[in-house]
A and B are shown apart, each in its own frame.
Chain A
Amino acid sequence: MTRNLVRLASTAIVALLLGAGAGLAHAAVTTLDDLANAQLVPSTEPALLGPINELGRNGWQCLPEQAAQSKAAMKAELPSY
């Protein structure tokens, strides 16, 4: 009777340990995936365009207005990596 009880308790402990191990392993995988997925974020917003002089945005050298309307990313003052 005592022997059976000891065997049952041992089995229960082993099962518990196995379960805990599997849980820990699962948690580790979840953490890795979560951490990796957390890196999938959009780029930053572009910085503010600079000030404009007294001639206004229609001045022929108004760089901020040119940057705002440019089709070319290079001229649009967009962020770089």
Chain B
Amino acid sequence: MHRTLGLIALAAVSTLPAYAGAQPYPGVTPVPRTTDPGKLRSYASAREASERIKLAFAEESRSDWGPAGAELERVIALHPGEPQGSTAYYDLGIAQAQLQQFDAAVISFGKAIDLDPGFLAARTNLVTVQLLRGDLAAARKSADAFVALAPDSARGLYQRGIVALRTGDAATALSDFERLLGSNPGYALGHYDLAIAEIKSGQLAEAERELRTAIGLAPSYARARLALGAVLLRQNRRAEAKTAFDAAARVAQDVALRELAASLRDAIKD
């Protein structure tokens, strides 16, 4: 009886798919055992790099950028392998950017990418830092490389769209924001930036539609209301523009934006 039950259980187990029996956790990493001085030095160096990155990570999480940067410089001096090498450069780039050392941050993110070309977080941060430096040509080149590697990345499409708008490339901005909204129709900022690209392309009716969509998604989006007023003014629809500026003044949280919207509203005479 017991033997029959055992055979049935065995048969049932054998019919399970292979992944059902798979170990969900990785096996224990074997402890390296050696007396070779070179290998021992290499293990010690890797361990030191790992511990220093851990310390720097904790410091950056507390916004202690200076000590974190110093720690990461020491990691880089150890010439660690991957992924510690690219991670150290990436984290160093963040510390440098936070300390307004944008030139150094560009170099650090660039080195992280050299070590690990598929490092998308480094690529997007590189674009941000280049924008902060005001180097639009370099930002565009980096954004193009990012989008080529990750064509569906929301961040990649957004960043390249912003760079394209700032450089007057409305066609690329139109394409990128349309693709971004294809996956994210509820992203109000995407509709706003698509509208800006359409205005630059002379498509005022489409821009008005996108701005109204953005406002529908986010009624307190003052900048979108302000842009809508500007689009209506361009079409000489002054009464509607005045209403849009008035709405912007009422919803704006930012004092400067509120004053600006109110000034534009009051400048339109009935």
Contact = CB atoms under 8 A, between A and B. Distances in A.
Contacts of B76: none
Contact of A68 (B123, B226, B267): B123
A68 B57 contact: no
Contacts of B218: 81
Given A54-B87, A58-B83, A81 B180 contact: no
B128 interface: yes
B86 A80 contact: no
A1 interface: no
Interface centre among B53, B119, B154 (most CB of A within 10 A): B154
B106 interface: no
A43 B57 contact: no
A38 to B, nearest CB: 9
Contacts, number: 166
B233 A42 contact: no
B125 A49 contact: yes
A5 interface: no
A75 to B, nearest CB: 8
A78 B189 CA distance: 9
Contacts of A71: 152-154, 183
Interface stretch (A6-14, A15-23, A29-37): A29-37
Given A35-B264, A70-B154, A52 B90 contact: yes
A28 B190 CA distance: 33
Contacts of B199: 40
B15 interface: no
B196 A42 contact: yes
B56 A51 contact: yes
Interface in A44-81: 44-58, 62, 64-65, 67-81
Nearest to A45: B131
B142 to A, nearest CB: 12
Contact of A76 (B119, B154, B214): B154
21 contacts: A32-B267, A35-B263, A35-B267, A36-B233, A43-B192, A45-B128, A46-B155, A48-B97, A50-B94, A51-B56, A53-B53, A64-B121, A68-B124, A68-B153, A71-B154, A73-B180, A76-B153, A77-B155, A78-B155, A81-B189, A81-B218
